[in-house]
Structure 1
Amino acid sequence: MDLILTGLVLLILLFAFLAAGVWVALALAGVALVGLLAFSNAPAGLVLATTFWGHSHSWSLAALPLFILMGEVLLRSRLSQDMFSGLAPWLGRLPGRLLHVNVLGCAIFAAVSGSSAATAATIGRMSVPELEGRGYPQGLVIGTLAGSATLGLLIPPSIILIVYGVATEQSIARLFVAGILPGLMLVALFSGYVALRAWMDPDLIPPRGDRLPYLQRLKASRSLIPVAALILGVIGSIYTGLASPTDAAALGVVLAVILAFATGGFSWALLGQAMMAATRTSAMIAFILLGAAFLSVAMGFTGIPRALAAWIGEMGLSPFALLAVLTVFFIVLGCFLDGISVVVLTTSIILPMVQAVGIDPLWFGIYLVIVVEMSQITPPVGFNLFVIQGLTGIDILRIAKAAFPFFLILLLGVALITIFPGIVTALPGAMGN
């Protein structure tokens, strides 16, 4: 129990650092340093140096800046516009019509960007003016964009899955494959909600325009070929075992640059901007990961994770009860921290508890990402809300209200993968080890 109290003291210290505006990485490292100096006999300086050095040249981590660069290149290309023109002709007869472009467009772009914020910015810049100009209700336009953009965290290549894999030493390739079926499930749930709203209130949706002949729709679909080629090149090479996630990320960058130049509207200046933006984002994430690694090692020296896992074990919580508690915990934490910070802040302490009750760490990674997706659309620190506010100028509380049904759908997604864990584990099981 003394170790549990020690953990509470360090947790309070961490929140004090964060409340004071200290960078997340420095807050993590600071708490780790205090833990080593005050509650262990380990040489703090030596542990810090060896941890930072040991975790700064991880080959798995090399995929992170490459996937970020790929997303930044696509963000500045015209592929998103081509995607809209390729999807729109086929969706006019569905209940909800072109609102499905937001859902499917976000799903497709998520599969080549790995970032929720980049997905919201890219698809929103293209779809919001187009859909509002055609008379679609603003609430549904904004809600479908905010909710569907969260798929950027789950559908591979997901940046946050790379972070989880590095932090927990799980196979990134298996995590990527595990995210495919849950991602498709959420796409189906989001589209189902749009169709249900349109069916319940047909006056919400503008009347259908002239139907294009089949050959014209097929011709418009040619603009989807570059994006489809990129998805198949990246995800297909990982699933078939032809490439590691890092190799696939390098392939994705090369293909993204070639396609961006080939489709027009891209320049060397924009490529330079993409590289600078990717460098800043990658450095920020790497800095957080180093701080989290130091905290994880420091907690090991103090013995707090083992004591916490033993304490939870003595409480006799079932896996379902533990997941219910953790879901509330992560949602509350996600109201104040971004998704990557939530993952690196909690995994070193939570994972021993999870494994103690027999939960598969691979399944838990997908569960954690879906719960973190909820935090992207919850105020006050919902990143997707801020991105959409920047695009539209709409008050953030109105955006949060529009996104609330999709928050509930994500909660339903958590319930479904909990009841049917095979949704997560089936494809990785088919891959073997």
Structure 2
Amino acid sequence: MISDPLILSIALVFIMFVFLLSSIWIGVSLILTGILGMLIAENHLPPVLSIYDKIGDLLAASMYDSLNSWSLAALPIFILMGEILYKSSISTRLLNGLTPWLSFIPGKLLHINVAACSLFAAISGSSSATTATVGKITLDELKKRGYSKSLALGSLAGSGTLGFLIPPSLIMIIYGVLSNVSIGKLFMAGILPGFLLATLYSVYIMIASSVDKSVVPTNNDKYSLKDFTHSLKDLFPVLSLITVVLGSIYGGLATPTEAASLGVLGSVILAIYFKSLSFEVMRNALLNTIKTSVMISFIIVGAGFLSQVVGFLGIARAISEFIGSMGLSPFALILIIGIMYVFLGMILDGISIVVMTLPIVLPIIQLAGFDPLWFGIFLVFMVELSQITPPVGFSLFVIQSISGEKIEYILKATLPFFILMIVAVVLITVFPEIVEFVPRYMTAK
């Protein structure tokens, strides 16, 4: 039997990857890893009950503790809001409303992915939903008008990840529940980094279109004052919904769960207003919400059990002490952790990365003096990177299914935006005020 916590942690990581690579459900993999960890370290456990009693008690307790959170109630509600918007015609109207306003910027409609993803992310909270919704609308249209296919695919892949960063964000809700960090403050902290990343994408598109004139068609679309006025009819309802959802949170008028409920109500009202709500739309939205919520909940339960085992066996404490004894500077530590997350992003989805690593990484981060609120945004960036990191980049799969292009071509198109995301991570690390300014300002008010 293994008793050394560091050796045990290496064994658990190896076991976990074996399960994950064998295509077993992620939640099951996490639970099995925890069970085997306790069996391996049986002699290291207090001899009060049999090992099977300990496993059963710990599994039951972790299931209850992991899901017994009112904050977690916001998760399925935000998912439902995004599904209603995705299934109805509201997202199409969003694109149509943005088109005239982007026609005079260098790169023209290539900015449509950045703008549309940013706005849809603010009412969806899901990266895959944002990528799929915007991609289905924009890719064919950009291709018909003669825009660069590579730049269109790359900007969609990069901008689609904003669904995790721009609040409301499913990843932020999960992180807040698992780390006991205020979800409202996490939402506030994501505003400036989200704006920063979207700006970097747009600046790159402007530079690329200025250097290579072929990425933009030579014909100039002209829009009259009537076109601009008419576009507001499509933009105003969506912007109003964003204002209601986020404004109620930032203004202290509603909790994230209550704001999510307002978002669902607002999305239903908009769908009725635009005459796009039907029994089939609601049925599919509810079914997809149930499937996604149960999947995420199962992963959270598995991660909760594994985190209990990690704490029970003293692994987190041992790893924290080991890294602390290495004498790494805070920046060297965050660099190592960042590289670890990029590697994990090659084989795991974003939610799994958060729930699997947080029990071990968060104590180390706090020991090094980093603010858990700041680390939450840093972690969201790492999850965004995982969305466009092969071979398990969910956004890459979504784009491939939409465009029909080979994954190699999509990867090449996505590389510049992957690099820009790393630049944004460096900026928030060197200047943490980018993350902390809005929560501090709103709290001070």
TM-score by length of 1: 0.98
In structure 2, the residue matched to 1:11 is 13
Which residue identity is paired with 2:167?
Answer: P
Moved more, 84-93 or 103-112: 84-93
User: Does structure 1 residue 81 correspond to structure 2 residue 92?
Assistant: yes
In structure 2, the residue matched to 1:302 is 313
Measure, in 2, the Cα distance between the counterparts of 1:61 and 1:271: 22
Shift, 1:258, TM fit = 1.1
CA deviation string 1:124-175 (max 9, x = no partner) = 1111111100000110111111110010011001001111111111111111
Secondary structure at the counterpart of residue 205 of structure 2: helix
Shift, 1:92, TM fit = 0.9
Which residue identity is paired with 2:307?
Answer: S
Which residue identity is paired with 2:117?
Answer: C
CA deviation string 1:28-53 (max 9, x = no partner) = 11111222343223722111112212
Shift, 1:216, TM fit = 2.7
2:140 to 129, 133, 156: 129
| 1:85-100 equivalent positions in 2, closer than 5 A | 85-100=96-111
Measure, in 2, the Cα distance between the counterparts of 1:274 and 1:216: 32
Measure, in 2, the Cα distance between the counterparts of 1:284 and 1:291: 11
User: Does structure 1 residue 314 correspond to structure 2 residue 314?
Assistant: no
Measure, in 1, the Cα distance between the counterparts of 2:412 and 2:277: 36
User: Does structure 1 residue 416 correspond to structure 2 residue 418?
Assistant: no
| 1:153-164 equivalent positions in 2, closer than 5 A | 153-164=164-175
User: Does structure 1 residue 222 correspond to structure 2 residue 233?
Assistant: yes
1:171 to 168, 175, 182: 182
In structure 2, the residue matched to 1:108 is 119
1:151 to 162, 174, 195: 162
| 1:6-85 equivalent positions in 2, closer than 5 A | 6-39=8-41, 40-41=45-46, 43-85=54-96
* Contact map agreement 2:151 2:215 (CA 8 A) in 1: no
| 1:181-260 equivalent positions in 2, closer than 5 A | 181-260=192-271
In structure 2, the residue matched to 1:352 is 363
* Contact map agreement 1:112 1:230 (CA 8 A) in 2: yes
1:324 to 313, 332, 335: 335
Which residue identity is paired with 2:124?
Answer: S
Measure, in 2, the Cα distance between the counterparts of 1:340 and 1:293: 13
* Contact map agreement 1:85 1:221 (CA 8 A) in 2: no
Shift, 1:208, TM fit = 4.4
CA deviation string 1:169-192 (max 9, x = no partner) = 111111111001100001100000
In structure 2, the residue matched to 1:400 is 411
Gaps of 5+ in 1: none
Which residue identity is paired with 1:35?
Answer: G
User: Does structure 1 residue 431 correspond to structure 2 residue 442?
Assistant: yes
Secondary structure at the counterpart of residue 176 of structure 1: helix
- How many residues in Structure 1 have an aligned counterpart in Structure 2? 433
Shift, 1:26, TM fit = 0.9
Measure, in 2, the Cα distance between the counterparts of 1:268 and 1:345: 38
Secondary structure at the counterpart of residue 252 of structure 2: coil
CA deviation string 1:105-136 (max 9, x = no partner) = 00000000001110111001111111100000
CA deviation string 1:91-111 (max 9, x = no partner) = 111100001111100000000
Gaps of 5+ in 2: 49-53
Which residue identity is paired with 1:4?
Answer: L
RMSD: 1.3
CA deviation string 1:284-320 (max 9, x = no partner) = 0000001111111111110010111011111011111
Which residue identity is paired with 2:265?
Answer: V
* Contact map agreement 1:371 1:410 (CA 8 A) in 2: no
Secondary structure at the counterpart of residue 206 of structure 1: coil
| 1:263-342 equivalent positions in 2, closer than 5 A | 263-342=274-353
Which residue identity is paired with 1:181?
Answer: L
Shift, 1:86, TM fit = 0.9
* Contact map agreement 2:89 2:276 (CA 8 A) in 1: yes
Which residue identity is paired with 1:90?
Answer: W
In structure 1, the residue matched to 2:149 is 138
Measure, in 2, the Cα distance between the counterparts of 1:115 and 1:80: 14
Secondary structure at the counterpart of residue 161 of structure 2: helix
* Contact map agreement 2:81 2:124 (CA 8 A) in 1: yes
* Contact map agreement 1:92 1:208 (CA 8 A) in 2: no
CA deviation string 1:310-369 (max 9, x = no partner) = 111110111110111111110110011100000001000001111111011110010111
Moved more, 197-206 or 344-353: 197-206
In structure 1, the residue matched to 2:51 is none
Measure, in 2, the Cα distance between the counterparts of 1:56 and 1:93: 49
